[in-house]
Every structure is written in structure tokens, then in C-alpha cells.
Amino acid sequence: MESNIIQTIDVVLLTIKNEKLHVALVKRESPPFQHHDALPGGYVHEQEDSDCLDSALRVLRTKMGIRPPYLEQLETFSGKYRDPRGWSVSVVYFALVSLEVIEAADNPLVSLVDIDDLKDLPFDHLKIIRATVNRIRNKAQYSSLPCFLAGETFTLPALQKIYEICLDDTLNKVSFRRKIAEMDVIEEVAGQLSKQGACRPARIYRLKPRYLEKLCTRQKLKFRLFITP
């Protein structure tokens, strides 16, 4: 008699710390790989989850205490050797969040690791993380996805730095600002300026609420977005 296929969800949560991309790992509390750091993940709950997105949201809520403003499906990883318990299928999602969101959750089981410092991880999680980073670097060339690393508000210089970290490349200031303007996904926060040292105060921006609402509808996210009304 063949055993049942293991059906799980894994989530890659990326943030920026010390001007480097970091991934959130959670210390596993049960076998296999007990006490090892791994991606937050878990079984699909057939009765509780209406779809894989629901499963991913539940995993982040229960394992990390986080509700991301955006969650995207990466791909499905499967095989008979990726999990020592048997043949398994994992639907992988990824999210970008600001460091403040992770720190606010204050989960002692969560650690942030520089993507360049990653070594052996349980299952095929290293392969999954590398695939996610490749996806981020590709999408950062044409999309607003890196904006979710900036937090609720940000300056354009700070946003450019975030894009440069995601792309692992230096960007031309004029070209970058033109591209951001063309995407039309951010707006200035009236009456607010960033005062940093002796530099000229910079304008403060945020993602447009209507853009976030569109994402919310498309992704069926069932929680309050981290946006300012």
C-alpha cells in the first residue's frame, strides 16, 4: 500500500537589515530537523484552509505572528527525496516586509540571516530561497514589489537604495525616479518631510491605498492592510 503524499506550505519572508537582504527562519520545534532553523511552513489543513493562500497566511500568523501586506506564490517543489518523511509536495509563497514588521512580532524562535551567509538548511529550503531571490531580482527590474520593503512611509533616496539592494546593482537617480513615476504606485504624504542631519529635508512617500486595495482583492487577503488611511 502506498503512503499518502505529504502536502505542505512554505513561506519565504525577505527583509532588509544592515543594507542586505535577509531571510526569516524559524527554529523547528519537532522532527524532522528538530531545533534546526528552517523556512516557516506547515501542513495544509484540509478543513480549515480554503486554498493554499489561506494555508500560507495561517503559517505566517501562527509561526511568526506576521500578516504581510502582499503575498505571492513562487512555485511548487516536489519529490520523494526532499522530505525524510516521504514523497512530498510544497507550494511555496514569498513576501517582502519591512524590518519593523518582523521586529514588532518579537518572536524568539525567529532569526534573520543574510542571504549571502546561508549554508545547509533542512529539506530543500536553500534551493527555495535562491529561487525566491532570483524572482525578486527579476521583478525588481520592472515592478513595484521592492516598495513593500520600505515600510509605511519612505523617501525616494531610501526607496532607491532598497531597489539597489534587491537588484544587487547601482541605479541612476534620474532613471530610477522616472521609472517610479511611470509606475504610478506611490504618492507624497502631504505636510511631512524627512530631516536627516544637515541634508536638505526629503519628501515622504507611501504606496497609494488604491494600489494596495487592488492587491488585496487579487490576493484575497483577509486582513487589515498595513497602510495609512
- Looking at CATH, the fold of the domain delimited by 145-219 is given as Arc Repressor Mutant, subunit A (1.10.10)
pLDDT at 219: 58
Could you say which DSSP state residue 81 is in? S
Phi/psi zone of residue 51: left (φ > 0), alpha (ψ -120 to 50 degrees), beta? beta
Strand partners, 95: 13
Could you say which DSSP state residue 84 is in? T
- Looking at CATH, the fold of the domain delimited by 6-119 is given as Nucleoside Triphosphate Pyrophosphohydrolase (3.90.79)
pLDDT at 200: 72
Whole-angstrom distance, CA of residue 8 vs CA of residue 92: 9
Whole-angstrom distance, CA of residue 174 vs CA of residue 186: 17
Whole-angstrom distance, CA of residue 52 vs CA of residue 10: 10
Is the pLDDT assigned to residue 217 strictly greater than 70?
no
Report helix angle 156-167 to 173-183, nearest 10. 100
E strand intervals along 1-159: 6-17, 20-27, 37-38, 41-43, 72-79, 88-96, 110-114
pLDDT digits (tens, 9 = 90+) for 99-158: 999 999 999 999 999 999 999 999 999 999 999 999 999 999 999 999 999 988 999 999
Question: Quick check: bond before 32 cis, omega within 30?
Answer: yes
Residue 96's CB: how many other CB atoms inside 10 A?
28
Closest CA to 204 of 151, 155, 144: 155
pLDDT at 70: 81
Is the pLDDT assigned to residue 204 strictly greater than 90?
yes
pLDDT at 210: 79
pLDDT at 202: 85
* CA distances in angstroms from 193 to 14, 199, 200, 209, 220, listed in the order given: 28, 12, 10, 20, 34
Enumerate the domain spans of the chain: 6-119, 145-219
pLDDT at 82: 94
Whole-angstrom distance, CA of residue 157 vs CA of residue 14: 20
pLDDT at 222: 44
- Per the model's pLDDT, the better-predicted residue between 21 and 226 turns out to be 21
